[in-house]
Amino acid sequence: HAVLALEHIGLRIGGARILEDVSLQVPAGEMLGVIGPNGAGKTTLFNVISGVVRPTEGTVHLDGRDVTQQPIHRRAAAGLGRTFQTSSLFPALTVLENVRLAAQAHTGHATSVFRTPRRTDAATAAARTALAEVGLADRAGTAAAGLAHGEKRKLEIAMLIAMDPKVILLDEPMAGVASGDMPAITEVIRGLHRGGRTVLMVEHHMEVVLGLVDRVAVMHHGELLAVDTPEAVMANPTVQSAYLGEPV
Ligand code: ADP
Ligand code: MG
Ligand code: MG
């Protein structure tokens, strides 16, 4: 079944139509790429899904429940996760402490990160599992400030994993990542599939998108032009004309 369903989403801000009649069903476990020229409405769509913005028309269903009017934290508790911005890392805390905070936010058991853990609590265990999943286990004791940029992106994804989301929204995970670091981060994103997680990913690097996704959704001027396999989308004349003058 569709773990995420958008029905006729519209968004008007002032006189501007930002989103127009966007309907999209995402089956559980799918990796969906979201592409489109700059300003197409991709980030705004993620904001509508996560509750940062309420649509002026249409509905958002998460796991069969109508969450259209629910606040961000209720959707997060229902299993919706977004990557943290790098600025949300605590630079002076270690990698492990950052991920443990995310795990504690998920379980609702906030304990001080400054105490000396005598026993391995559930949050620490979840944090170590998440760090292993992104390949940062050996950096657990490093201050987050000491990480390279690519490692910080991995840390953000580990924090997301620690919150045990069913549906993950990644908005341009390769932004600012050196091309040499992209293969490793691509593998981390591929690994998010394990455990049946559903991933929606906005990304401009088409080689990254095409190497990862099951289907691609194409946005243009706030509308969904096409949702199809990568091959079908790239061969679609409507999609090609939307990208005229832009690199596909
Ligand atoms: P994308 O992520 O595809 O590059 P965005 O979703 O960021 O596009 O933006 C889509 C359009 O909506 C842009 O024209 C942007 O200027 C506009 N927009 C987004 N948020 C707002 C807002 N809060 N107020 C007015 N315009 C907005
Ligand atoms: Mg943009
Ligand atoms: Mg954007």
- pLDDT, residue 243, reads 77
Tokens of 228: 């199809």
- pLDDT, residue 101, reads 92
The sheet carrying 57-62 orders its strands as: 16-27, 2-13, 57-62, 65-66
C-beta separation of 210 from 230 below 8 A: yes
**Helix residue spans in the chain (DSSP H):** 42-50, 72-77, 95-107, 122-134, 149-162, 182-191, 206-212, 230-234, 237-242
- pLDDT, residue 3, reads 97
Q: Which of 44, 49, 171 for a ligand 1 pocket mutation test, highest count of atoms within 8 Å of Cβ?
A: 44
CA torsion sign for 232, 238, 240, 242 is negative
Listed as ranges, residues in the chain with pLDDT below 70 are: 84-87, 107-120, 244-248
- pLDDT, residue 194, reads 73
Give the DSSP H or E segment for 234. Answer: helix 230-234
- Across 28-181, the runs of DSSP E, i.e. the strands, are 31-35, 57-62, 65-66, 80-82, 167-171
Q: Ligand 1 within 6 A of 39 CB? A: yes
Whether this model's ipTM surpasses 0.85 comes out as yes
What is the position in ligand 1's atom list of the atom closest to the CA of 45? 6
Q: Ligand 1 within 6 A of 47 CB? A: no
d(CA 18, CA 39): 9
- pLDDT, residue 169, reads 96
Q: What is the SS3 assignment for 157? A: helix
Q: Which ligand is nearest to the CA of 40?
A: 1
d(CA 168, CA 34): 13
